Amino acid sequence: MTPKLSIVVPTFREVRNLESLSLALDTVLRKQGIEYEVIFVDDDSNDGSKELGAQLAQHLPVRMIVRRNEKGLATAVLHGLDAARGELVLVMDADLSHPADRIPEMVAKLESGAHDFVLGSRYIAGGSLDASWTWFRHLNSKIATWLALPLTRVRDPMSGFFAFRRAAMPERRLLSPIGYKIGLELLVKGEFKNPGEVAIHFADRVRGESKLSWKEQVHYLRHLRRLYQYRFPFLAEFVQFGVVGASGFMVDLLLYLGLQSLAGASHVTARALAFWGAASWNWAWNRVLTFSLRRKTRKRIQWPAFLLTSLLGFAINVGSYYVLTTYVPFFDTHKILALGVGVLLGFGFNFVTARLLVFIPYQTEIMEEQRYGHNKNDRHI
Ligand code: GDD
Ligand code: MN
């Protein structure tokens, strides 16, 4: 018989938690009369998990999938979701941090149609964290959460405890499971209209070790950048182009001053040379950052193309300043505003030409393959 609810639990060296979790789930769900299955997706822990899984499967609706050629939390979750048979799917940690007794409420919210995605949340009224958390850990978690807030409408988008209808699973090719936050990924890429939250107390693990490391936090920042690029493509490019441009201005300034004081260049020569250095800097960073998802055009074509459009942008910047201050009396008395207008026009020109001419988009299908195709960086560390 197909169960109503499939519970996917990624595991790595969790042998000491498997039994307690399975029993806790059974107690709660049997009492509520919810037909369920548990799918453990283990990355070849080699700690007896596999054997224990087989043993538990004799009297509980538990399956243990052991992956040998792939590692990583996010892909493990996707693997488990692929194997799920229930109408509803739920993902949770193995270490008893996520309270099993909140599951019926999460299920009820999905079944009543009140929500199409439900998270176990630490950051809504009634939610709480383990008392042992230090202020540093709080702050770390809060900052990570704030960074993700514009992407979703939930308060705890970092949660690894979530449920939705299996039929609503986003297409696999849309997903790029880098890092830890597969819940956030699904929430952003899925067409969920009405995500909801259930308050939970997040208990710290008692047994086994956490696998969250600094490296995962860096992955998280990369993941966020991708999600912003996905959800707000124009804005993400605009902001990154602006940040690169601002850093380019610093390079410009340093070269201008450095060439004069260290290399004895005249101020006009220094001005002219610094421009090329700064424009090259901008090109390089826009290539790896702002337009990282665009076609990798050959450098010896793209670099001069960018320099050329930057030069035109520069001419527009200075030219408009000249025209405004010469022919418009208002700007003659407000020269700093003319300078601002010039900078904006030059920046706008550079941005538009960079997007349309220098960094060419992929054709849609190739682009999606590139963006969301399987990612080799998702390795357990
Ligand atoms: N299969 C597999 N492969 N499972 C993994 C891997 C892996 O490479 N790495 C971690 N896991 C499993 C762990 O065994 C555990 O069941 C779950 O993923 C979460 O790992 P923890 O190491 O306990 O994570 P955490 O407590 O630091 O992070 C939790 O809190 C976050 C919110 O603060 C997780 O619930 C996150 O999902 C959550 O976002
Ligand atoms: Mn944990």
Relative to the alpha carbon of 73, which ligand is closest?
Answer: 1
pLDDT of residue 91: 98
Distance of CA 215 to the CA centre of its chain: 14
Identify the CA nearest to 35 among candidates 14, 61, 13: 61
User: Over the chain, what is the mean pLDDT?
Assistant: 91
User: For atom 9 of ligand 1, which residue has the closest CA?
Assistant: 73
Longest CA span, the chain: 88
Taken as a whole, the chain contains a residue count of 381
User: For atom 36 of ligand 1, which residue has the closest CA?
Assistant: 160
Those residues with Cβ within 8 angstroms of residue 275's Cβ, 6 or more apart along the chain or in another chain: 252, 310, 311, 314
CB contact burial 337-354 (16+ within 10 A = b; e otherwise): ebbebbbebbbebbbebb
Burial of 44 (0-12, 13-18, 19+ CB in 10 A): middle
pLDDT of residue 215: 82
pLDDT of residue 217: 85
14 Cβ below 6 A of ligand 1: yes
46-74 mean pLDDT: 95
pLDDT of residue 324: 96
pLDDT at 344 over 50: yes
Least confident of 83-92, 175-184, 274-283: 175-184
Q: Which residues fall inside 5 Å of ion ligand 2, going by CB?
A: 95, 97, 205
95 Cβ below 6 A of ligand 1: yes
Which of 156, 162, 211 to mutate to test ligand 1, by most ligand atoms within 8 A of the CB atom? 211
pTM: 0.83
User: For atom 14 of ligand 1, which residue has the closest CA?
Assistant: 11
User: For atom 17 of ligand 1, which residue has the closest CA?
Assistant: 93
12 Cβ below 6 A of ligand 1: yes
Give the model's confidence band at 380: pLDDT under 50 very low, under 70 low, under 90 confident, else very high.
very low
Going from the Cα of 226 to the center of ligand 2, the distance in angstroms, rounded, reads: 25
At 204-249, the pLDDT tens digits run 888 887 777 788 888 899 899 999 999 999 999 999 999 999 999 9
What are all long-range contacts of 249-254, with beta carbons under 8 Å and residues at least 24 apart? 249/278, 251/277, 251/278, 251/281, 252/277, 252/278
Give the model's confidence band at 105: pLDDT under 50 very low, under 70 low, under 90 confident, else very high.
very high
User: For atom 35 of ligand 1, which residue has the closest CA?
Assistant: 160
Integer angstrom CA distances of residue 222 from 78, 212, 216, 346:
19, 16, 10, 29
Q: What percent of the chain has pLDDT over 90?
A: 78
pLDDT at 362 over 90: no
37 Cβ below 6 A of ligand 1: no
Contact yes or no for 202/122 (Cβ under 8 A): yes
137 Cβ below 6 A of ligand 1: no
At 126-150, the pLDDT tens digits run 999 988 888 988 998 999 999 999 9
In the chain, alpha helices (H): 15-32, 49-56, 73-83, 103-111, 135-148, 182-189, 214-231, 233-261, 267-285, 299-327, 329-333, 335-353, 364-372
pLDDT at 325 over 80: yes
73 Cβ below 6 A of ligand 1: yes
Identify the CA nearest to 379 among candidates 175, 221, 218, 216: 216
pLDDT at 366 over 70: no
At 191-205, the pLDDT tens digits run 899 999 999 999 988
pLDDT at 7 over 70: yes
Going from the Cα of 107 to the center of ligand 2, the distance in angstroms, rounded, reads: 22
200 Cβ below 6 A of ligand 1: no
pLDDT of residue 375: 42
pLDDT of residue 370: 52
Cβ neighbours, 10 Å, residue 160: 20
95-111 mean pLDDT: 97
At 290-300, the pLDDT tens digits run 999 888 889 99
CA distance 142 to 99: 21
**DSSP-assigned letter for residue 336:** H
pLDDT of residue 374: 43
Those residues with Cβ within 8 angstroms of residue 124's Cβ, 6 or more apart along the chain or in another chain: 155, 156, 197, 199
pLDDT at 92 over 60: yes
Give the model's confidence band at 1: pLDDT under 50 very low, under 70 low, under 90 confident, else very high.
confident
CA distance 121 to 151: 16
CA distance 216 to 114: 33
Angle, CA of 102, 108 and 114, to the nearest 5°: 120
Going from the Cα of 210 to the center of ligand 2, the distance in angstroms, rounded, reads: 5
Which of 78, 96, 136, 180 to mutate to test ligand 1, by most ligand atoms within 8 A of the CB atom? 180
pLDDT at 31 over 80: yes
83-90 mean pLDDT: 97
pLDDT of residue 47: 95
CA distance 295 to 304: 16
